[in-house]
Chains A and B, each alone.
Chain A
Amino acid sequence: MTPAILLLQDGTIFNGYAAGKIGTTTGEICFNTGMTGYQEVFTDPSYYKQIVVMTNIFIGNYGVKKSETESNKMQIAGLVCKNWMPNYSRSMADGNVQEYFENEQMVGIQGVDTRAIVRHIRNAGVMNCIISSEISDVEELKKRLAAEPSMAGRELSSEVSTKESYFFGEEKSAIKVAVLDLGVKKNILRCMADRGMYLKVFPAKTKLDEMMKFNPDGYFISNGPGDPASMPYAIATVKDILATNKPLFGICLGHQLLSEACGISTYKMHNGHRGLNHPVINLQTGKCEITSQNHGFAVKEEEAKQNANVEVTHLNLNDNTIEGIKVKNKKAFSVQYHPESSPGPHDSRYLFDDFLEMIKLN
């Protein structure tokens, strides 16, 4: 086994062994507490430039399967895990994690005490880190790590978004939705297409007039990586969409952008929410949902509650952070979590039905 090093920005070092390709990678370290769905996490564009610590004790146990991906390639910057399992048992799988990582040129570290790392991040907050299974000189690693920009203020959507617009779903559908792709997960598109929406997916920097040519019945603002505050172009697009009075639905980054468009600012969280077990209460129905989450930024609670144009619809039961809003006198709503899940519970899929209903009634 090839030794590997994980070095954090604050100088903390964890020694382990290589997982995946032999190499070096940098990114912001974050942790995900989900116990299933590692491949969906690896391919989720919202994890772009992030090194993910998976707290689940095994990674790779059920192999990899082409259909269980959220985009066309791996998006994480690197992986940190406890037990790396190239041997898998799933009959329906297409291959093992080691080959998958090698094919996708992905670097990871295994055999480290992931719990100790999580406790460290929980206290110290998220920070940049570097993994290497080829360089053992810590000074050299520190030099390379210093070159990695901070996630705060970073615009990344235009890097992961589609370069060309494309269509998704059944062309004959009566309902058309324009999707602003800021790093959209495939399952969001599937959830809408399954409900009879025909989608045209646009690159991140597309302006409203371009999207209007598709003559959509509604707009969708996707999830994605990076700092929402650094995306004035997308905030402007959302404002323009709001002015059309057409139905609008936003998820995760889309939720943060809708908030920004309404004058609510966002902030970088201490260590974010990433996992499949986050409890949310729907204030409109009083019902609770277990949600799939992946965000390092959030909208400011006080500003959201005080904003006269916005109603807070969902709250996190653990820390009371804002999980959903709707814009008063508009047909626009958004959630911070991931109703499309994949991975994660399907409790919140009703939001796609709500969106469909909103379009139909419009």
Chain B
Amino acid sequence: MPKDTSIKSVLIIGSGPIIIGQACEFDYSGSQAARSLREEGIEVVLINSNPATIMTDPIVADKVYLLPLNTESIEQILKENKIDAVLPTMGGQTALNLCKEADEIGLWEQYNVKLIGVDIKAIDKAEDREKFRLWMIEMGIPVCPAHIANSFLEGKEFAQQIGFPLVLRPSFTLGGTGGGIVFKKEDLDEALNRALTASPMHEVLVEKAVLGWKEYELELLRDNNNNVAIICTVENFDPMGVHTGDSITVAPAMTLSDTAFQLMRNTAISMMRNLGNFAGGCNVQFAMNPETEEIIVVEINPRVSRSSALASKATGYPIAKIAAKLAIGYNLDELKNQITKTTSAFFEPALDYVIVKIPRWNFDKFKGANDTLGFQMKSVGEVMAIGRSFPEAIQKACQSLENDAIGLGYYGKSLMKSEEILESIKTPKWDRIFRIKDALMAGATVSTIHKSTMIDKWFLYQIQSIVDLEKHLMKFDKLSEISKEEMTKAKQMGFSDLQIAKFVGNKCTEDEVYEYRKSLGITRIFKIVDTCAAEFESKTNYFYSTFG
């Protein structure tokens, strides 16, 4: 179906203040959507209570309302403007909640505003945990055993039935606020109270904890013609138990066979087709039992999200921009791939590199805060690195964290004994990735670390390869002893010149390493993020640097 020409003006709802769990990703998606709609000659009216955003710059929308995100503001806007449609899928949970509230008091109907991108039924089905669970059961899709509780007593009763460890997930909250894992009966009361209070409807899901299962996310697009494409598959380095926003994540999925991946793909597609009226970007999270490869669905978000912003940058596919076009009626096959400009927008990006995202925490600014990671997101930002191998990407990401890390390692150098390190990595904390490296440096095996952390062995083998090369480089007294082959390998594995300078007996400087490798002809090259692994020529310049 081509563009719906009855839509001449659209209201986009922003996501409000930047808080932990909801940062600038919605500014990114909102701005993209606004541009995408204006490209189509549609007037864009925007509401956001946060002036410190790009989307509220006068050039992004035709009219910007800096008002509190509540129904009074919405009514004011609808009174002052002729709005044909509202697009609530760009402003995260906040926008969806506000859209639902406005619907409940009949605002959209009263002002004859069409809801585009998603309908209320779909929002409910996806966001209300109990409705979601029942929907999954109806579709025959496995979910975690769980019960919804609306009171403290109910919660306690279900907790007894399900057993520990268990997870508490409050309904309709941001970034998992108020939720968490409860390992012991003694901790239940406090956690349950917190979770119930966090939910605007005093509702919490008591769920069995599938700790140690591997976690994956699929980013999808669906159009009105039921066409679905998977834009990106993201694998979490940290197994289930750590909020995705606090997990180190990797794209594309690194440890999935085609059989396992297609099962997830099929499941996600059938969910999206069954969701109801929906056209746009969506995210589905899965957990997989590493032994049997059985999967369960964790959740679905019928909107663009933190991960779709990441997926857009990871693949080059502008999810929010295309999602906005789908919302106004276009089908995927009617649009062009925005990177190649010649091929179809209906396709699934192929990556010939690896993306690593590492969250950035600021626990040093929150003295006394509990720095253990769990179901409630605690990071305040993230870095994303692109490399031609996992070691390269993870080292680049570490170098970008804006702390003192100059790579994976040599940061907050651990003074712990190896037994202490092994004990400490059992608990996910902000510095776990560095401590894992320390443990491997100290001689712990991949199997030992896997047992303590349940992190997939493949990732640990990769870190082991960084450790092996680092130990090898440490043997050299002089820079000139390092062969071209060894230096190339070091650079391909993401070692910075400064890092190498530190290993070689502290007898050289970063500049010397740079000059030396340059004399060997080892220099940075630039590759394009083109959505198609070089199959087609790219018309958009989006580069990353690498060493081959």
- List A residues at the B interface (Cβ < 8 Å): 31, 33-37, 40, 55-58, 61-62, 65, 68, 82-83, 85, 87-92, 113-115, 118-119, 122, 275-279, 281, 286-288, 290, 317-319, 341-346
Contact = CB atoms under 8 A, between A and B. Distances in A.
B259 A68 contact: yes
A113 B548 contact: yes
Nearest to A3: B485
A122 B535 contact: yes
Contacts of A83: 388-389
Q: Which residue, B226, B258, B261, B458, has most C-beta atoms of chain A within 10 A?
A: B258
Interface string B438-460: 00000000000000000011110
A33 B532 contact: yes
A286 B331 CA distance: 11
A148 B148 CA distance: 67
B350 A65 contact: no
B47 interface: no
Contacts of A68: 257-259
B44 to A, nearest CB: 28
Provide the main secondary structure of the chain A interface. loop
Nearest to B459: A89
A317 B352 contact: no
Contacts of A113: 548
A239 B343 CA distance: 36
B338 to A, nearest CB: 14
A34 B258 CA distance: 10
B434 interface: no
B293 A281 contact: no
Interface size class of B (residues with CB under 8 A): 35 or more
Interface of B: 225-227, 229-230, 233, 252-259, 261-262, 265-266, 290-293, 331-333, 342-344, 346-354, 388-390, 456-459, 461, 527, 532-537, 548
A319 B337 CA distance: 13
Nearest to A83: B389
A90 B456 CA distance: 9
Contacts of A87: 457-458, 461
B389 A57 contact: yes
A199 to B, nearest CB: 22
Contact of B350 (A34, A62, A91, A122): A34
Given A36-B258, A114-B352, A343-B258, 5 more contacts: A57-B354, A89-B458, A276-B348, A288-B225, A346-B265
A344 B257 CA distance: 11
A279 B344 contact: yes
Contact of A115 (B259, B533, B536): B533
Nearest to A87: B461
Nearest to B387: A57
Contacts of A36: 253, 256-258, 261-262
A278 B347 contact: yes
A36 B254 CA distance: 9
A288 B332 contact: yes
A286 B225 contact: yes
A90 B255 contact: yes
Contact of B347 (A62, A318, A344): A318
Closest 9 pairs between A and B when the two form their complex, measured CB to CB: A37-B258, A317-B344, A343-B258, A89-B458, A55-B533, A33-B350, A36-B258, A89-B457, A277-B348
Contact of B256 (A62, A65, A122): A62
Given A88-B458, A279-B333, A58 B254 contact: yes
Nearest to A120: B534
11 contacts: A33-B533, A118-B533, A122-B535, A275-B533, A276-B348, A279-B344, A279-B347, A287-B226, A288-B331, A343-B262, A346-B262
